[in-house]
């Protein structure tokens, strides 16, 4: 059994790449898969805090690459989910400390040890991004229903195609269903029409995501959260399961139903 390497990227920063990696990692591991996630954002380490593992770091990815420790020593085991591991980014080094072939070698050594290797790419389309996509078997592009995020996602998809990494699969994150119903936010269909790639998930805006980050407990662990459910569904799709998409746009709030009754819409 050899692991699948999945890189999560976006072009624009702040659209929820790290959150997506943390949630997919947790959801896959809770589902019985062996998962290793790698923080590819050298110098701006964050996946450790989102996963709640920041206090357990001894070695990082640059220590492995430069031979100061063995790979196993840099893999932090999640106590909640024993089949989830994190290889943290180096915080005091820059992106030039790692090359694309380093990433390929590292993932090659890990492939026999697990089922999924998730790589959190840095924002941008420069070296850190190129390193992150180099070993990828599959790329997930995260975007928000918002002009700059969609434009940057399109650039990234163009680069992925040029580098023979396929167009990637799309995660539309932070969709606000009530704004979409009021036609003040691009709908998932609009974004898909513009980017024209395969959709793998739509994650609604949900305060539970921030609360989960505050606690270091990704929202996918919360069985009552809609965003958590959306991430768990993406994880199942990554495993090849056919899962219908959540219906986020048709339901309406009490206030919207009253407005409809009053003939305002």
Interface residues with other proteins (CB under 8 A)?
146-147, 150-151, 154-155, 157-158, 161, 167, 180, 182-187, 190, 193-197, 264
CA distance 248 to 188: 10
Nearest approach in angstroms of CB 136 to other proteins is 19
- Which residue's CB is nearer to other proteins, number 6 or number 185? 185
CA distance 170 to 70: 35
- Which residue's CB is nearer to other proteins, number 1 or number 262? 262
Cβ-in-10-Å burial (0-12, 13-18, 19+) of 61 comes to: buried
Nearest approach in angstroms of CB 123 to other proteins is 17
- Which residue's CB is nearer to other proteins, number 69 or number 258? 258
Nearest approach in angstroms of CB 157 to other proteins is 7
**Count of alpha carbons within 13 angstroms of residue 37, beta-carbon side:** 31
Nearest approach in angstroms of CB 200 to other proteins is 17
Alpha carbon distances (Å) from 210 to 102, 125, 135, 141, 184? 33, 26, 30, 21, 23
- Which residue's CB is nearer to other proteins, number 50 or number 197? 197
- Which residue's CB is nearer to other proteins, number 113 or number 256? 256
Nearest approach in angstroms of CB 6 to other proteins is 21
Cβ-in-10-Å burial (0-12, 13-18, 19+) of 224 comes to: exposed
């Amino acid at each position: 059994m050899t692991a699948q390497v999945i890189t999560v990227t976006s072009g624009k920063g702040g659209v929820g790449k790290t959150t997506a990696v943390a949630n997919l990692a947790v959801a896959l591991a809770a589902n019985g898969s062996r998962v290793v996630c790698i923080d590819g954002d050298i110098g701006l380490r964050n996946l450790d805090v989102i996963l709640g593992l920041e206090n357990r770091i001894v070695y990082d990815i640059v220590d492995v690459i430069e031979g100061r420790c063995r790979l196993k020593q840099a893999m932090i085991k999640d106590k909640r989910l024993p089949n989830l591991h994190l290889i943290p980014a180096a915080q005091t080094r820059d992106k030039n400390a790692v090359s694309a072939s380093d990433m390929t070698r590292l993932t090659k050594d890990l492939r026999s040890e697990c089922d999924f290797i998730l790589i959190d790419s840095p924002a941008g389309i420069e070296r850190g991004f190129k390193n992150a996509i180099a070993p990828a078997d599959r790329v997930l592009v995260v975007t928000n229903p918002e002009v700059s995020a969609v434009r940057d996602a399109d650039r990234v998809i163009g680069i992925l195609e040029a580098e023979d990494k396929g167009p990637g699969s799309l995660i539309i994150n932070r969709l606000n269903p009530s704004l979409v119903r009021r036609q003040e936010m691009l709908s998932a269909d609009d974004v898909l029409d513009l980017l024209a790639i395969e959709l793998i998930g739509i994650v609604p805006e949900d305060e539970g995501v921030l609360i989960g980050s505050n606690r270091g407990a990704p929202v996918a662990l919360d069985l009552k959260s809609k965003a958590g459910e959306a991430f768990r569904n993406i994880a199942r799709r990554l495993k090849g399961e056919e899962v219908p998409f959540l219906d986020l746009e048709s339901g309406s709030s009490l206030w919207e139903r009253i407005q409809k009754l009053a003939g305002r819409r």
